Amino acid sequence: MSNRTMKAMRVAECGGPEKLLLDQIAIPQPAAGQVLVKIAAIGVNFIDIYFRSGLYKADLPITLGMEASGVVEAIGEGVTGLVPGDRVAYSMQRGSYAEYAVVPAWQLVKVPLAVNFQQAAAVMLQGMTAHYLTHSTFPLTSEHTALVHAAAGGTGQLVVQMAKMRGATVIATVGSAEKVALAKAAGADHVILYNEQDFAVESKALTGGKGVHVVFDSVGASTFMKGLDSLRPRGMMVTFGNASGPVPAIEPLLLNTKGALFLTRPTLFHYCQDQQEVNWRAGDVLGWIADGKLKVHIGGTYKLADAAQAHIDLASRKTTGKLLLTLD
């Protein structure tokens, strides 16, 4: 197997989508505690763009991609609970834009038979993100009102659905009239077109002037300040993405003047610190899909060789749902 090669989408120099190059490299071998996965479907995420552009730093060259689903091909020394042929999925391990990937065994979860590879690849990163946001960062209850930005996107639709599972009232923002129906289908109680309406004013109006308890913001620079204005006193701003660019630095005193607000910038890694947390979050998400309680909207699929176009489409913010790369 050591002489075999595979196709991989790699970046040797940071920059635009044109920097993505399809390469032929050796199939990696699993070391102790690792598993070699034959990839079936790959999730496309903004973090891939951040690494490609250089916003997030990494030693070049790199193979992009942070999540995938597939079949166990081989296991390294000391791995238990997994055997070749098992259907698995994972996230948080860069290198999934390829035909094979080596993954730490503790990050892999088995995929229920009722969930297909595309569904599994579509929800590992975004689904576990939505899970930690709604269950851990700000554990929602029926007493809470949440503002969810980019609610028609892959993560946004999952956040809305999980917020409703927990009984919260959801105010969603979307960028176009076409996306309103998607946010409502996910369960949003109110939908705001943020390009046409001032979402801070509307959020205050919808909450009787009080403001929301929490803002889940994956957009970043263009929505952050108004998001603070949407919160009630002691509310929480959860900024977890940079789709419009990174949030500029702020003075801590600003949080005081706007109502003793809380501010956090979480990442999935910090909410999936061990196998127990991964199994909890991924187990919930995949189980809900298998049971029909959680709907996955796949907005587009692309061949591995067309990853650059997937990046262009994702960055345009005109897509809905989850974008995938496929190897079938």
Q: What is the pLDDT of residues 21-37, one digit of tens each?
A: 999 999 999 999 999 99
Query: Comparing C-alpha atoms, which of 221, 257, 226, 227 is closest to residue 146?
Result: 227
| Phi/psi of residue 322, nearest 5 degrees | -100, 140
Partners of 39 in the β-ladder? 70
Residue 2 pLDDT = 56
Using one digit for the tens of pLDDT, what is the confidence trace for 252-266?
999 999 999 999 999
Residue 324 pLDDT = 97
Residues in the chain: 328
Residue 1 pLDDT = 46
Residue 242 pLDDT = 86
In this structure, the dihedral spanned by the alpha carbons of residues 189, 128, 121 and 43, taken in order and rounded to 10 degrees, is 80
| Phi/psi of residue 260, nearest 5 degrees | 55, 50
Q: CA angle 257-258-261, nearest 5°?
A: 105
Percent helix, percent strand, percent coil in the chain, to nearest 5: 35, 30, 40
Could you give the domains of the chain? 5-125+272-326 (3.90.180.10), 141-265 (3.40.50.720)
**Are 109 and 89 in contact, with CB atoms under 8 Å apart?**
yes
For 12-124, strand residue ranges (E) read 20-26, 34-44, 62-63, 67-75, 87-91, 100-104, 109-110
- Rounded to whole angstroms, the Cα distance separating 289 from 282 reads 11
Global pTM value: 0.92
Using 50 as the pLDDT threshold, list the residues of the chain that sit under it.
1
